[in-house]
Amino acid sequence: MQRLALASAKIEDFGAVSARTVVAGVEAVCDPLGALYLPETRLLVVSDLHLEKGAAFARRGMMLPPYDTLATLKVLEAVILRHDPAIVVSLGDNFHDRVGSAHLPDIFRAKITDLARGRDWIWINGNHDPDGTVDLPGQSADELHYAGLAFRHEPSLLSPAGEIAGHLHPAATVIRREKAVRRPCFATDGRRLLMPAFGLMTGGLDLRHRAMTGLFERPSLVAHMLGRDRIYSVRFANLIG
Amino acid sequence: MSTIDSTAGPSLLPAAFAAWFSAKGWQPRAHQMELLARATAGESLLLIAPTGAGKTLAGFLPALTDLTRRGRLPPGSAFTGIHTLYISPLKALAVDIERNLMKPVEEMGLPITVETRTGDTPQAKRQRQRLNPPDILLTTPEQVALLIANGEAPRFFKDLKYVIFDELHSLVTSKRGHLLSLGLARLRRLAPGLRTIGLSATVAEPMDLRRWLVAQRPGAARHAGLVTAPGGARPIITILKSKERVPWSGHSAKYAMPEVYEAIRDHKTSLLFVNTRSQAEILFQELWNINEDTLPIALHHGSLDVGQRRKVEAAMAENRLRAVVATSTLDLGIDWGDVDLVIHVGAPKGASRLAQRIGRANHRMDEPSRAILVPANRFEVMECQAALDANYLGAQDTPPVGDGALDVLAQHVLGMACAAPFDEDALFAEITAAAPYTGLPREKFGRIVAFVATGGYALKTYERYARIRKTQDGLWRVSNPQVAQQYRLNLGTIVEMPMLNVRMVKRGAKGAIGRGGASLGKVEEYFLEMLAPGDTFLFSGKVLRFEGIRENECLVSQAFSLDPKVPAYAGGKFPLSTYLADQVRSMLDDPHRWGGLPEQVRDWLALQRDVSALPKRDELLIETFPRGSRHYMVAYPFEGRLAHQTLGMLLTRRLERAGRRPLGFVATDYSLAVWALDDLGYSFAVERPSLASLFDEDMLGDDLEAWLDESFMLKRTFRNCAVIAGLIEQRHPGKEKTGRQVTVSADLIYDVLRSHEPDHILLEATRNDAAAGLLDIQRLGDMLARIKGHITHRRLDRISPLAVPIMLEIGREPVAGEAQDSLLAEAAEDLIAEAMGVAAI
């Protein structure tokens, strides 16, 4: 639970633990909590929250702990307090299933309402929750085009330039001296950026997986990996040392 | 203990049996007749007998004679349930027993039907067995759990007279044994008069097994009767005295291969046992490299494709092979042709394991078995010598039965709800009759039932999704039929490591990978994570080139290289047993016992005595010395790798707190090395900290708790518990989860649960498991208590002879915990360095 611990830790020098990058000419900061912040437009992006994943499984007979929503919202709160964004974009798979937002316990609904106060909130629809949200602040959309960037859930194969997408839960594996460490990451080649999954009960997909094929120019691909208390930026070619 | 008059014996045997014995020129053995008499008189019994003592026949005699007296049931008689249930840990063993049992049954023309039921039994046959049960059913623990979770169980088992447990000593120590004990408790309720017969090899603690076999009540423990068969001829065991130099460390024993090959050539059929799969692969390849006579030598381990394994087994049974290299998949009592030599490569670890493996050679009791031990390094030489002494002394060690696991209980509770609605108090009375669960508090059982129903969380949001519900009549019942279906698919206590199928493909001229070739077997996913495409490794006796992963398959091609890169370090999987560790320590302490050791090992120990010291039996020797830019501390507790790993974690935490700047540690079965930036020798000399306080037992308090919180090992344990308890599923109707998905989500569930409900029942189950098995905390605690006031510190200028083996292990250990991030930092530095390089131009 390193992100939950990190969310409540005090950070002295944010510049030292985050990573700066540029996507299609737009400056962005990779926050070690797994969110992307665009300072010029004061826009914060999070992706694949998968809220109510535990409940979604319980509905199907697997009694996973009911605490994942609470944990994910705590981290979300920390990252919103840090950047105080004007706009929050949640990049799809906001809920783990279609009925998730309708069945959301009131206490969590109130928390989200609280976080959204005084800012614009955009829910991008994902494949898990294509119908939008129920009784929550903000507006739902399939895509958002803003400040020269395109925000959508699934990366499109046609137009990489300036795309911020989620869906794939990218993770990178560093191998040194026959030892392997795998972590979620922001993946970008300067044209497109894939967001790590923000939900605390979500898995990852390795950058070498064939589902990632063709998404990036590998020579310029960098993985900004979520470490215990900071971002580690590693060039794709350097992952295996 | 009752004795049987030899003249009283034959009268217990129906005429057909007496005639059969005398036609064979055999005499019923005393222990067979004793067991028959006492079981017939209504006793439940444990039979302890060495391999080849006619254990199986003895176990079945009471049932066979009873059924013979009953005679064949006339057509049209009322439904009769099974008479005898035989349960074996291996399905291959059940099949093997059927063959062996059918022989006397057919030769005597007995009116008895015998059938097997395993995971491989076709659906139609299972249906038929339910409608028309055989007299004797041979099966496995998992099938028993399935049968009792069925609504027809009362009818099926109402006539049950005998339950026979084969290889009981190996069954009871695991979670499978826990599940089986609960199953037995249910069988006793369905057939109150049933008797149990346990068959076991020699064990240190027969009382545990005797308790397990009978129903327990609150108050005094109850025990099954004991029947002991005399031991057979003493095995002839030698340690390979190699002319070659015995290596300091490592596990391959490559140095000894020419001599091992000689031994194979000199015998008819040899079994070569090793401790791990990778050892088996390496050994097999080395043997074929020098197999000038092209002797038929085969490979057998659990990861190989089933078809391939069956081929080897058949060839072995027909005596077509000269040698088989095998892992523990062959440990148990399957009959194997005419094996006249067992070669054990690597340390035998537990002495009872050694006895079992040696029992493999020569199943006739009157001839001695022959075995050669081949130590892979110098510490193993001593361990082999100790094992040898232990075997001659007849000393045996088997892990204790232990308290029943809570995850297993959760699985059983759901199974019982699937069978029929249950009353919570009645079920509690039933399960506490099972020996491993006798001490279970009522309150904890209630929490298990709540867990089965809704997950048992403090935050009660899942009531409407409950799997079982308490209805108005006060009984718990399943909410819908899908629950029972899911239960049946997920039953069992063996949680597989995530494994990928290994498939051979052809590489095209342009490097394109072709489709579908032969499947070679399965390999653990963590092993593959360390491979990059193009790496070569050993598997299935071949050098393979790793091509990549496609869906659930690991694609490989033929490598044109004889020198594989074997990236995964795999040492002994089994920890050194407490008994053997004590033997090794006392041997080190007593130069008179060095006589059996090879000269080079004696010289090594003598040199150690001169430049440092030899650890005394009841003390802990600690050496400190500088090397390169680091300062090392090496301790020699001889408590096994698991306990040392735990100790290493705790010591580095303490040294860190004392400001001594520790950098890492490495653990082997015998010793532990910690290295630091500070001069540890000096620090201990000026008592900052003192060794006594560093090794104080209080490390098992807060430090342990704090470390456990972050331990990756606990996550792996949690995953097993979560699968067994039914929180997450390995299989779901219609869609198979891959191992990877299970791993990922279990880790995340663990994190979420631990931070929000740290006293949840499943976390308790996980901690219990970890304390017992994974971390060997009990053993570590015993050691810390033993060495209190007996720590000897030697400050040396340089590495000592005894420290060389562990120093060679540094850098081969897998990375864990906090060290992970330093690896990431290292990779990130590359990028920084690159950036700086560009800037400098």
B352 interfacial to chain A (CB closer than 8 Å): no
List B326's β-bridge partners, or say none. B273, B300
| pLDDT at residue B235, rounded to an integer | 73
Token digits for B486? 């899911």
**Parallel, antiparallel or unpaired: strands B662-667 and A87-90:** unpaired
C-alpha span between B541 and B283 (Å, rounded) = 9
Interface probe for A, chosen from B413, B462, B550, B766 (most Cβ of A below 10 Å), is B462
User: Which of B455, B727, B823 faces A179 most closely, judged by CB atoms?
Assistant: B823
Strand order in the sheet with B620-627: B662-667, B672-676, B630-635, B620-627, B791-795
Shortest Cα–Cα distance, A235 to chain B (Å): 6
Cβ proximity of B450 and B456 under 8 Å:
yes
- Which DSSP string corresponds to A82-94? HH--SEEEE-S--
Q: Name the percent of chain A lying above pLDDT 70.
A: 98
| pLDDT at residue B518, rounded to an integer | 79
| pLDDT at residue B360, rounded to an integer | 58
List the 540-569 stretch of B: residues with Cβ below 8 A of A.
550, 567-569
- Is B236-393 in the same CATH topology as B9-228? yes
C-alpha span between B324 and B317 (Å, rounded) = 12
| pLDDT at residue B507, rounded to an integer | 73
Locate the domains of chain B by residue range. 9-228, 236-393, 499-558
User: Which of B465, B727, B754 faces A1 most closely, judged by CB atoms?
Assistant: B754
Cβ proximity of B556 and B545 under 8 Å:
yes
CATH superfamily of the B236-393 domain: P-loop containing nucleotide triphosphate hydrolases (3.40.50.300)
User: Residue B470 CB: number of other CB atoms within 10 A?
Assistant: 15
ipTM above 0.90, yes or no: no
Residue of B nearest to A3 (CA): B751
Cβ proximity of A197 and A184 under 8 Å:
yes
List the 697-736 stretch of B: residues with Cβ below 8 A of A.
727-729
Closest CA to B536 of B525, B544, B528: B544
CATH superfamily of the B9-228 domain: P-loop containing nucleotide triphosphate hydrolases (3.40.50.300)
List the 446-475 stretch of B: residues with Cβ below 8 A of A.
451, 454-457, 459, 461-462, 465, 467
**Parallel, antiparallel or unpaired: strands B323-326 and B195-200:** unpaired
Residues of chain B positioned with their CB less than 8 A from the CB of A175: 530, 532
Cβ distance of A179 and B811 shorter than 8 Å: no
CA A177 from chain center: how many Å? 30
What is the b/e burial string over B231-254, where b = at least 16 CB atoms within 10 angstroms of the residue's CB? ebeebebebbebeeebbbbbbbbb
**Quick check: A108 pLDDT over 90?**
yes
Cβ distance of A175 and B532 shorter than 8 Å: yes
Beta strand residue intervals within B488-576, DSSP E: 499-504, 519-524, 536-539, 542-550, 553-558
Shortest Cα–Cα distance, A144 to chain B (Å): 31
Residue of B nearest to A104 (CA): B461
Residues in chain B with pLDDT values less than 50? 1-9, 332-333, 393, 395, 566-573, 732-744, 813-817, 835-841
Contacts of B481 (CB under 8 A, 6+ apart): none
Shortest Cα–Cα distance, B824 to chain A (Å): 6
A2-9+18-238 has which CATH code? 3.60.21
Locate the domains of chain A by residue range. 2-9+18-238
C-alpha span between B227 and B240 (Å, rounded) = 37
Q: What share of chain A is helix, strand, coil (3-state, %, to 5)?
A: 20, 30, 45
Closest CA to B550 of A211, A236, A174, A154: A211
Average pLDDT of the residues in A174-186: 80
Q: What is the mean pLDDT of chain A?
A: 92
B833 interfacial to chain A (CB closer than 8 Å): no
